[in-house]
Homo-oligomer: A and B are copies of this chain.
Amino acid sequence: MLKEMLENVGIKSPLIHNITNYVTVNDCANILLACGASPIMADDLEEVEDITSICCGLNINIGTLNKNTITSMFVAGKKSNELNHPVLLDPVGAGASRLRTDTAKELLEKVKFSVIRGNLSEIKSLALGSGNTRGVDSVEYINEENLDTVIDFAKDFALKNSAITVITSVVDIVTDGKTAYCVYNGDKMMSKITGSGCQLSAMMAAYISANPNDILKAALACVCAMGFCGEIAKKRMADKDGNSSYRNYLIDAVYNLTPDELEKGARYEIR
């Protein structure tokens, strides 16, 4: 079921327009290449419509937003909507500043997103106007105890925003508001590198762009792929290796992941 999602990324090699932060942008570009897609980064108002028009999908990440790039996010988002391109929002640090929360909320109002992907604090900030974002890292985790509560919350958020919602944590949730998948792939080392979330979002933009008619499954496949590659990378860790080597191993694992391996390695359930 999931393998076709990755196969289509390889076959179509979607060009993805990224308006993203300057912290993790290089990793986002390399992970897009690793999974078989192509990246382009462009954030100037004068060109974002042109750029997004030649792309298959748009990834908006507010990690180091500023007044210029915020304008570009709206313009690119609307243009992508006109062209019926999948658009993904990664509300990095929503809740950490009024600017981030307000920008993300306004984006949700004015742009139609196919997928919204964040951690629990970020998505709560968008839903409840508050949340407990600690910088760009979540202070709240999803575990077996609060899983049902968070699933209900995620479904509600997905329905209200008409967007597939992906909340990543120890357990990841992927839902369209009706069906909710819980993904158990992943490794805690992923939180020891900067930008594993950004990388997931960039790669997810590729998966959904290559599978525009099956976005829920594409998002699920991508979450499983990232988590499974996080496990592969962890197994590769040797003496003296730390988070910098892990970062390389993670992208390497994405590069080498085959559709069959993804199919077998994915660990998820419908809840």
Contacts and interface: CB of A to CB of B under 8 A. Distances in A.
A201 to B, nearest CB: 16
Given A47-B99, A55-B135, A63-B41, A34 B256 contact: no
Interface stretch (A17-25, A178-186, A220-228): A17-25
A269 interface: no
Contacts of A44: 64-67, 99
A241 interface: yes
A121 to B, nearest CB: 12
A80 B247 CA distance: 32
A96 B40 CA distance: 10
A192 B31 CA distance: 10
Given A96-B54, A134-B54, A243-B251, A41 B26 contact: no
Interface residues of A, number: 64
A141 interface: no
Interface in A1-45: 15, 21-27, 29-30, 33-34, 38-45
Contacts of A46: 67, 97-99
B194 A134 contact: no
A106 interface: no
A97 B49 CA distance: 8
A21 to B, nearest CB: 7
B135 A47 contact: no
